[in-house]
Amino acid sequence: MIEAGHFAAFLALALSLAQGVLGLRGERRTAGLLAVTAFGLMALSFLTIVNAFVTSDFSVALVANNSHTLKPMVYKIAGAWGNHEGSMAMWCLVTVGFGAAAAAMMRTGRELFEARALGVQGLLATGSLAYLLLASSPYLRLDPAPFQGAGLNPLLQDPALAIHPPMLYLGYVGYSFVFALAAAGLMEGRIDRVWAREARGWSLAAFAPLTFGIALGSYWAYYELGWGGWWFWDPVENASLMPWLIGAALLHSVVVTEKREGFAAWTALLAVLAFLFSILGAFLVRSGVLTSVHAFAVDPERGTLLLTGLLVYGGFALGLFALRAPKLEGGKAWTLLSREGALMANNVVLIVATLTVLLGTLFPLIAEAFGRTISVGEPYFNLTFVPILALILILLPVVQGWAWGKADLKGWLRWAVGGAALVLLFVLLGVGPLDIPAGAAFGLAVGVWLVGGALWELKRRAITPGRVFKLPLRVWSMTLAHVGLGLFVIGAVVETTGRYEATLALPEGGSGEVAGWTITLDEVRSIEGPNWYADRAVLTARNAGQTATLTPMKRFYPAASMPTTETAIHKTGTGDLYAALGEQRDVDGEARWVFRIYYNPLVDLLFAGVTLIGLAGLIGLWPSRRTAKPAEA
């Protein structure tokens, strides 16, 4: 079957190339049929890869290198994309899938525009498939075939990591069609309401799964790696954060283009940048230029090809932008003190925040090229990224109700006084009963400010309580996204400043104190799983009448000769009691087991906030794709 899949992928490549050529020539119907057919072929091809993993066909090199007969079925299936070659096959599947979806769903009434968008998407798919088939083929055979496979990286054998890559690719690759829309709009010289309505839907279709993908990756790192935190400013984490920030700016900018036909050139540029940063993320993960637990490959040659693709696509899009953008209409006039001005300020701050993350990610690589070793970590991002983003968070509740064209500033003083009073209240609480630093108190005030501002805006739009559930879903989407952002800020501030951690070395029957909890080691025993064996500790935690049992493990996977840490988490309602098992040591002639114990307050509020932002994206997507009216050709 794998040969059939290989052949189907080549057919998909040929059809994608034809789609690109015919689409740019304006043949909308033919390009659409080719897009749908290419997707069917690529889906068949990808299923043959999955089948090879399910059946443990070790004559396929990809399966032999990334699977094992004892691996649970769900991880055999996930192994199809838990590696460089398989993940690139999924990338190609999603790319042609977005082309097929666009062919079926676009209804702008502009046939030439739609044809060109499909054409550009076809060329993007051609580049991805060529890279897959010529540089990263998942279809290679081994002769003779090994009797057993090497197994999937044990860190990836986790439910969250089974879903995390597909979510990320839906986001990354989703921006490919936003890129195609921008290119087609620039060719046509029309970035207007109709274009913006179409682009907004596809932007949300990429933004929502990218948000869920980042959340899943963060939660996996939190409970799987055993370090007790949720964000490390790892370069690969940053690779997904940067297109997310650009995507957030794009969503705010496209609203102005849709409502007022303003920011036309700027919105088109953001659409281009969102996809280019997605390709940059793929380059960082797969080129071998950085080291990370998330990185797929250490292969400079394939990294060079990805960098070449980034330069080719980027050069084409930015060159087209330079030629066409000056000719785009500017829309209605606006001032800085208006909703347009506020959204432009939002965009500028998000772009600066993105560039700050980019500099922090790439600077160690630049320094290394000149023979110096420099580490850029959390302190840099706390001193740069956090204050920059705080500007948006402070202004957001004030400006979200401003009118188009010119804002009504009558309520400005009331907002300013309210915000200052809130900050003062939390600073006093921080100095007093909360006993937290002034910066943390300010962060809590900002989180509450965001939630309260979003709910106030919902009340203002409803006018009367009875109308609140009759408001457009777009309003609910905005409200939920801003509430989610506020909850995230509250959770992040409380967890970061209130986290308690300790190291305990306990004999069996011994106890220790952590954050008001008494931790007792009952026993440590050896157990076996389907493809691993482990030492599992049984801990009893007690605090003011509460009792919990924690069972952290230290697993070992023989196929990969690799240990992993399996944490145990007890949710108290106000935080997580978190335990990770370390090594056994001899202390004063007595055998003791080392544990890292954390108490992470309100950490679930953080993850709930991000999830709410993703759900808000899905809600905003629901009505937007069917309300567009055909425009004049």
537 & 454 share domain: no
100 within some domain: yes
Report how far residue 633's alpha carbon sits from residue 630's, in angstroms, rounded to the nearest whole number: 9
pLDDT (average), residues 354-381: 87
Same domain, yes or no, for 12 and 52?
yes
515 with 478, same domain: the answer is no
563 and 457 belong to one structural domain: no
Write out pLDDT tens, residues 519-542.
999 999 999 998 899 999 999 999
Q: What's the predicted TM-score (pTM) here?
A: 0.93
pLDDT at 77 (0 to 100): 93
- For residue 289, what pLDDT is reported? 62
Q: In this structure, are 464 and 525 located in the same domain?
A: no
Residue 259: how many other CB atoms lie within 10 Å:
15
Predicted local confidence at residue 371, as pLDDT? 80
- Pairing verdict, β 575-587 and 568-571: antiparallel
Q: Is 591:584 a contact under the CB 8 Å cutoff? A: yes
Domain-embedded: residue 620: no
Indicate whether 510 and 437 sit together in one domain.
no
Average pLDDT, the chain: 90
Higher pLDDT, 333 or 443: 443
Q: Rounded to an integer, what distance in angstroms lies between the CA atom of residue 133 and that of residue 549?
A: 50
Listed as own residue / partner, the contacts of 503-509 with beta carbons closer than 8 Å and 24 or more positions apart are 503/582, 503/594, 503/595, 503/596, 503/597, 504/594, 504/595, 504/597, 505/585, 505/587, 505/592, 505/593, 505/594, 505/595, 506/592, 506/593, 506/595, 507/590, 507/591, 507/592, 507/593
Residues pairing with 598 in the sheet: 501, 578
Domain shared by 442 and 565, yes or no: no
What would you report as the CA-atom Rg of the chain, rounded to the nearest whole angstrom?
26
186 within some domain: no
Do 566 and 421 belong to one domain? no
94 located within any domain = yes
pLDDT of residue 465: 67
Whether 406 shows a pLDDT value over 80: the answer reads: no
Asked if residue 78 lies in contact with residue 67, where contact means CB atoms within 8 angstroms, the answer is no
Shared-domain flag, residues 504 and 485: no
Mean pLDDT of 271-282: 92
Domain-embedded: residue 345: no
Q: Point out the domain boundary residue: 137, 157, 177.
A: 157
Average pLDDT over residues 91-119: 96
Domain boundary among 499, 521, 554: 499
DSSP code for 436: -
The per-residue pLDDT for 523 is 96
Residue 179 covered by a domain: no
Is the Cβ–Cβ distance between 41 and 18 less than 8 Å? no
- What is the tens place of the pLDDT at every residue in 570-620? 999 999 999 999 999 988 888 999 999 999 999 999 999 999 999 999 999
Are 75 and 101 contained in the same domain?
yes
Same domain flag for 398 and 518 = no
Q: How far apart, in whole angstroms, are the C-alpha atoms of residue 287 and residue 308? A: 12
How many structural domains does the chain have? 3
- Do 507 and 491 sit in the same domain of this protein? no
Whether 9 contacts 139, CB under 8 Å: yes
Least confident window among 289-293, 314-318, 447-451: 289-293
Residue 223 maps to a domain? no
In the listed set 499, 527, 561, which residue is the last one of a domain according to the structure?
A: 499
**Which stretches of 261-291 are DSSP H helices?**
264-286
Residue 203 lies in a domain: no
Residue 595 sits in a domain whose CATH number is 2.60.98
Question: 296 pLDDT exceeds 70?
Answer: no
Give the domain range for residue 86.
Answer: 1-157
**Mean pLDDT highest for which of 6-10, 427-431, 464-468?**
6-10
